[in-house]
Amino acid sequence: MRRRSTTSRPMPLRLFVLAAALLLVSACAARQPDVTARACRPSGPAVASNCTESQDKKLAASVVETRILDVAKPYIGTRYRYGGTTPKGFDCSGFTRFMFGQFGVELPHGSRSQVVLGKPVKREELRPGDLVFFDIRRRGRVSHVGIYLGDSRMIHASTHLGVVVDSLNDPYYARHYYTARRFPQLTEEVLALLEQQAANEQN
């Protein structure tokens, strides 16, 4: 599988085609996103451009969220294993590394190694696919990581429960939340894979 560099490229314009393909190929998803957001009502070329860009970003986020859930679903319940990076057992950064690897994006093992990569993201601007980091030990440094899914949810390898979906609003995680990082190449890879699937369906 090809590995992506950290250089991003423009968001594909065929997102609605990809979304349609996604609905066909991901019937086993945990839930389907609503991609029929209320249409914009532009009053000029500049506003129309901004409106289209906003819709594309929202649709891309829905596609990424659903695809991550599709890929991650078989691993929910996988036991926690310190240093683990395979379905035999994951630690937190081993799971994020494994998941990103499914989309051709290579990450190092270790939450402190992952937190220095990507682009910083404010909590109120989180999108599906962003990595969310926590200072569990309250020492002023990262000690846990998960993948944001949208709707204040994340999927991660919990020390006690293994791979689970939890809420960022849970008092425990809200109290220990540290920062988040975005990897545009993850979105690009997800969309590229779906585009390829759509092309294969037409052949």
CB 106 within 8 A of CB 195: no
Domain with CATH 3.90.1720.10 in the chain: 76-185
The reported pTM is 0.74
Taking CA 68 as the corner, what is the angle to CA 82 and CA 92, rounded to the nearest 5 degrees? 15
Q: Catalytic residues, which ones? A: 92, 144, 156
Count of residues making up the chain: 203
Per-residue confidence (pLDDT) for residue 196, from 0 to 100: 79
**CATH 3.30.360.10, domain 76-185, yes or no:** no
Sequence-separated (6 or more) residues with CB below 8 Å from residue 110: 93
Sequence-separated (6 or more) residues with CB below 8 Å from residue 168: 123, 132, 148, 152, 153, 154, 174, 177
CA dist 43 and 142 (Å) reads: 46
Closest CA relative to residue 130, chosen from 112, 113, 155, 108? 155
In the numeric block, which tokens belong to residue 27? 């019937």
Instruction: Give me the average pLDDT of each 10-residue run along the chain (203 residues).
Output: 46 46 42 40 51 64 87 96 98 98 95 97 95 94 97 97 98 98 88 78 74
Q: Which helix (H) or strand (E) holds 71?
A: helix 45-72
Outline where DSSP puts E strands in 24-129. Answer: 85-86, 89-90, 119-120
CA dist 137 and 133 (Å) reads: 12
